[in-house]
Structure 1
């Protein structure tokens, strides 16, 4: 896997790559051959950032680029301190920069940076979708925003040196692949959904018509390797088994391609999936899952990504472990790069 210390380029989902020339005390960032920002770096308990051209007001996108570069290069770095005579207003309004008690001093926090939805989301997040409560199938819950179509998330994983992305499932495109995955012995052991093409077409079309469930295909470098179901927990069968909130999301996960298995791949796609769901609606405070209680490997992988096992409980069809990931815990311990 790539060495983060040797990074000089970070591809961006929205276009050209971010290029950096970094020494012990200087950082120059360029985008599409155009200079973005030049900084003097002062190392200490917190990295201090000084503009090499004092008095200028950096563009918010330049501040964002510096944060992305420095947080990706050192996943353990939690904060940056900026020294600016003037800070861009939109950077302050978004939380990219936070004013301090010291005049001309601002900070950027890893936990806030990774909650900014762009450029990772392929489509606008649902934070503007109004809340209206309804009752369906005997359950009271918010009206859900229309489901997206196409790519919904993309990010270059610098640790893997690969793109990780999520797109919505298209039945005509993905049916044969889904059928092959479900009929593998390993997947069938846990999902118990082996069957014919027509059975799987019916299964996927039913979920496509269900407003509470979003079916997703996970890709590495645009190669499909996994199938995910993201559901609103309030309307799901899991709701009676814990203190469910209106915007909790649940996940079902299936890795279909054998060459994309392994803990380093799980760390990438599971973090990306959780990141997408937390960005999609900032009212989502928890992501939950209910793997089989005897699926020790998956439970261990999830615990490695900050999920905790709240309890075991009995579904009609299985003994399950309730795995919970809180929004605060995810972003406070965020290892995204």
Structure 2
């Protein structure tokens, strides 16, 4: 994969790819052979973006594509300053652009851009589900939306040069793989869930029937490499150990394929997993995890991606570290490309 400076093609989840003709001061984007937008750029501490056709009202998809391209090329760039005679109302209503006190000047903020759910989500948002409180197992919590099926998230990781995606577990398809992963010595030492195919079928079926848990398979270029459990913290066993919000999500993580281990892979899949959970419901303010307190490697990986250790505490079966990543912190420091 070429370096970010050499990037000329950027694949999109829906299939087509953005193609760019770019110089220090010019950017032209095409999609499926169709001219999308032509820009003049003035680089500096603030990147100033001007339309070549100054009097036109650009399509929202063209504005979005240009913002995506420029943020992907410069992962540390926090905002873009757009100069437009007319800004589309949809761009302002969605948060893609924000008006400034200067007439004709608008900003695109990285922290807002990555909170826009499309095109990354493959399913409708859980956040569209109305709130009604319920009590189950002595815990008061919102009734949860029906769980999605199939692919829920897809994004091309420019640094890695690969698609990172998440899909829900299909027990008939994934059981043997899950069994192999759980019976590996490395995984079993932390998960302590080694067992037979039938035991693991029961394990997955129980979670599938549980409205507070969502089981996911992580893929690189559609190759399954990891198993994740996402859960609503309010009705989980973790709830008594911290002040769980109604829409906090928790995660359990297992990388099963040895060739997909390592910090560079974690730096791709962990932000993708967290990104999905924050996009799925805008009411989610925190993502938490409770790895074993002696799992120094995983704790270090999580800290490198913005999590902090709030405390250690005792579950009946382990000493755990409460790892927390807030929504504001994730998007303010968002390094997605």
Asked if Structure 1 and Structure 2 have the same fold, meaning a TM-score greater than 0.5 normalized by the shorter chain, the answer is yes
The equivalent of 1:31 in structure 2 is 31
TM normalised by structure 1 equals 0.99
1:182-193 map, 5 Å: 182-193=182-193
How much has 1:111 moved relative to structure 2?
A: 0.2
1:121-140 map, 5 Å: 121-140=121-140
The equivalent of 2:159 in structure 1 is 159
> Which sections of structure 1, spanning at least 5 residues, go unmatched?
none
State the alpha-carbon separation in 1 of the partners of residues 122 and 132 from structure 2. Answer: 25
After superposing on structure 2, the runs of 4+ consecutive aligned residues of structure 1 that deviate more than 4 Å are none
Q: Helix, strand or coil: the match of 1:15?
A: coil
TM normalised by structure 2 equals 0.99
Q: Helix, strand or coil: the match of 2:217?
A: strand
Q: How large is the Cα RMSD of the aligned pairs?
A: 0.6
State the alpha-carbon separation in 2 of the partners of residues 116 and 45 from structure 1. Answer: 25
Deviations 1:225-251 (A, max 9, x none): 000000000000000000110000000
Deviations 1:209-267 (A, max 9, x none): 00000000000000000000000000000000001100000000000000000000001
State the alpha-carbon separation in 2 of the partners of residues 181 and 91 from structure 1. Answer: 45
State the alpha-carbon separation in 2 of the partners of residues 331 and 88 from structure 1. Answer: 24
The equivalent of 1:219 in structure 2 is 219
State the alpha-carbon separation in 2 of the partners of residues 215 and 106 from structure 1. Answer: 40
The equivalent of 1:199 in structure 2 is 199
The equivalent of 1:85 in structure 2 is 85
State the alpha-carbon separation in 2 of the partners of residues 244 and 296 from structure 1. Answer: 24
How much has 1:126 moved relative to structure 2?
A: 1.9
Q: Helix, strand or coil: the match of 2:16?
A: strand
The equivalent of 1:61 in structure 2 is 61
How much has 1:182 moved relative to structure 2?
A: 0.1
1:1-337 map, 5 Å: 2-337=2-337
Q: Helix, strand or coil: the match of 2:155?
A: strand
State the alpha-carbon separation in 2 of the partners of residues 84 and 127 from structure 1. Answer: 32
1:2–1:255 CA distance, 2 compared to 1 (3 A): farther
How much has 1:43 moved relative to structure 2?
A: 1.2
Residues 2 and 160 in structure 1, CA contact (< 8 A), matched pair in contact too: no
Q: Helix, strand or coil: the match of 1:87?
A: coil
Residues 100 and 106 in structure 1, CA contact (< 8 A), matched pair in contact too: yes
How much has 1:15 moved relative to structure 2?
A: 2.0
How much has 1:127 moved relative to structure 2?
A: 2.2
How much has 1:176 moved relative to structure 2?
A: 0.1
State the alpha-carbon separation in 1 of the partners of residues 296 and 272 from structure 2. Answer: 21
State the alpha-carbon separation in 1 of the partners of residues 201 and 127 from structure 2. Answer: 32
Residues 2 and 158 in structure 1, CA contact (< 8 A), matched pair in contact too: no
How much has 1:128 moved relative to structure 2?
A: 1.6
Q: Helix, strand or coil: the match of 2:93?
A: helix
State the alpha-carbon separation in 1 of the partners of residues 2 and 216 from structure 2. Answer: 27
Give the count of matched residue pairs.
337
How much has 1:45 moved relative to structure 2?
A: 1.6
Q: Helix, strand or coil: the match of 2:181?
A: helix
How much has 1:44 moved relative to structure 2?
A: 1.9
How much has 1:125 moved relative to structure 2?
A: 1.0
State the alpha-carbon separation in 1 of the partners of residues 126 and 297 from structure 2. Answer: 33
How much has 1:196 moved relative to structure 2?
A: 0.2
State the alpha-carbon separation in 2 of the partners of residues 157 and 44 from structure 1. Answer: 26
